[in-house]
A and B are shown apart, each in its own frame.
Chain A
Amino acid sequence: MALQSLDIVRRSATTTPSPQQRQTTEVAKLIDVTKCIGCKACQSACMEWNDLREEVGINEGSYTNPHDLTANSWTLMRFAETEENGTLEWLIRKDGCMHCADPGCLKACPSPGAIIQYANGIVDFHEENCIGCGYCIAGCPFDIPRLSEKDSKVYKCTLCSDRVAVGLEPACIKACPTQALVFGSKEDMIEHANERIADLKERGFENAGLYDPPGVGGTHVMYVLHHADKPELYNDLPKDPVISPTVGLWKGIFKPLATAAIFFTALAGFFHYVTVGPNETEEEDEEKKP
Chain B
Amino acid sequence: MTNTWMDIKNANVILVMGGNAAEAHPVGFKWVVEAKAHNKAKLIVVDPRFNRTASVADLYAPIRVGTDIAFLNGVIHYLFEHDAIHHEYVKAYTNAGFVVREDFGFNDGLFTGYDEKTHSYDKSTWQYELDEQGFAKVDETLQHPRCVLNLLKQHVSRYTVDTVCDITGTPKDLYLKVCETVASTAAPNRTLTSLYALGWTQHSIGSQNIRTLAILQLLLGNIGMPGGGVNALRGHSNIQGLTDLGLLSDQLPGYLNLARDHETTRAAYLEKRTPKPLRPGQVNFWSNYPKFHTSLMKAWYGQAATPDNDFGYDWLPKVDQLYDGLRVFDLMAQGRMTGYFCQGFNPLASFPNKGKIVSALSRLKFLVVMDPLATETSEFWQNHGEYNDVKPEEIQTEVFRLPTTCFAEEEGSLVNSSRWLQWHWKGAEPPGQCRTDIDIMAELFLKIRELYRQEGGAFPDPILNLHWPYRIPEAPSAEELAKEYNGYALADIPDSKDPGTVLVKAGQQLSSFTQLRDDGSTACGTWIFCGSWTEEGNQMARRDPTDPTGLGIAPRWAWAWPLNRRILYNRASCDPSGKPWDERRKLIEWDGSKWTGLDVPDFKVDAGPNSGVSPFIMTDEGVARLFARHLMAEGPFPEHYEPFENPLGTNPLHAKVISNPAARVFANDKAVLGDHEAFPYVATTYRLTEHFHFWTKHSKINAPLQPEQFVEIGEELARELGIANGEKVTVRSKRGAIKAVALVTKRIKALKVAGKTVHQIGIPIHWGFTGATRKGYIANTLTPFLGDANTQTPEFKAFLVNVEKDLSELMPHTHKPGETHEERRRPEVLLEDDEPARQVSWLVRILKGRTEV
Residues of A within 8 A of B (CB): 34-41, 43-44, 47-48, 53-63, 65-66, 73, 81, 83, 88-92, 177-180, 196, 199, 202-203
Contacts and interface: CB of A to CB of B under 8 A. Distances in A.
B30 A178 contact: yes
Main secondary structure of the interface of A (DSSP, over half): loop
A177 B26 contact: yes
8 contacts: A35-B56, A55-B704, A55-B821, A60-B725, A88-B746, A90-B50, A90-B747, A179-B33
B746 A59 contact: no
B709 A59 contact: yes
A44 B845 CA distance: 46
Contact of A56 (B26, B55, B703, B746): B703
B746 A83 contact: yes
Contacts of A63: 743
Contact of B704 (A34, A41, A56, A83): A56
B55 A62 contact: no
A147 B49 CA distance: 38
Contacts of A83: 746
Interface centre among B29, B34, B704, B744 (most CB of A within 10 A): B704
Given A56-B821, A90-B747, A41 B26 contact: yes
Contacts, number: 122
B690 interface: yes
B351 interface: no
A63 B815 CA distance: 19
Given A37-B52, A179-B33, A59 B743 contact: yes
Interface in B706-753: 706-710, 725-727, 741-747
B720 to A, nearest CB: 17
B288 interface: no
Interface string B742-776: 11111100000000000000000000000011100
Interface of B: 22-23, 26-27, 29-30, 33-34, 36-37, 40, 50, 52-56, 58, 60, 689-690, 700-710, 725-727, 741-747, 772-774, 813, 815, 819, 821
B33 A65 contact: no
A272 B700 CA distance: 67
Contact of A57 (B36, B55, B704): B704
Given A37-B52, A60-B741, A62-B725, 20 more contacts: A34-B56, A37-B22, A37-B23, A38-B55, A39-B690, A40-B705, A44-B701, A53-B701, A55-B821, A56-B819, A56-B821, A58-B707, A58-B774, A58-B815, A61-B741, A65-B707, A81-B747, A88-B746, A91-B55, A203-B58
B607 to A, nearest CB: 41
Contact of A179 (B30, B726, B773, B821): B30
A48 B700 CA distance: 10
Given A38-B55, A57-B704, A58-B813, A196 B37 contact: yes
Contacts of B744: 61
Contacts of A59: 706-710, 726, 741, 743
A66 B689 contact: no
B33 A88 contact: no
- Nearest 3 pairs of A and B residues by beta carbon: A61-B726, A61-B725, A54-B704
Contacts of A60: 725-726, 741, 813
B751 to A, nearest CB: 14
A37 B746 contact: no
Contacts of B703: 56
Contacts of B774: 56, 58
A40 B708 contact: no
Given A56-B772, A59-B741, A62-B743, A40 B30 contact: no
B339 to A, nearest CB: 37
A177 B30 contact: yes
B37 A92 contact: no
Nearest to A92: B55
B41 to A, nearest CB: 11
Contact of B52 (A39, A47, A89): A39
Interface centre among A55, A91, A177, A202 (most CB of B within 10 A): A177
A109 B744 CA distance: 41
B746 A177 contact: no
Contacts of B34: 179
Contacts of A58: 707-708, 741, 774, 813, 815
A215 to B, nearest CB: 29
B157 to A, nearest CB: 33
Given A37-B56, A39-B26, A81-B747, A65 B741 contact: no
Contact of A178 (B26, B50, B58, B813): B26
B772 A89 contact: no
A54 B27 CA distance: 24
A35 B37 CA distance: 9
Interface centre among A37, A41, A90, A179 (most CB of B within 10 A): A37
A72 to B, nearest CB: 9
Nearest to B690: A40
Contacts of A43: 705
Contact of A35 (B33, B710, B813): B33
A91 B37 CA distance: 19
A61 B707 CA distance: 12
B338 to A, nearest CB: 39
Contacts of B37: 35, 196, 199
Contacts of B22: 37, 39, 178
B50 A61 contact: no
Contact of B33 (A57, A178, A203): A178
B420 to A, nearest CB: 18
A88 B747 contact: yes
A181 B29 CA distance: 14
Nearest to B52: A37
Contact of B689 (A38, A47, A62, A199): A38
B704 A37 contact: no
Contacts of B26: 37, 39, 41, 177-178
Contacts of B58: 203
A191 B701 CA distance: 35
A153 B809 CA distance: 37
A59 B740 CA distance: 10
A37 B53 contact: yes
B710 A65 contact: no
A262 to B, nearest CB: 48
A194 to B, nearest CB: 13
A1 B423 CA distance: 38
Contacts of B741: 58-61
A73 B55 CA distance: 24
Contacts of B701: 44, 47-48, 53
Contacts of A62: 725, 743
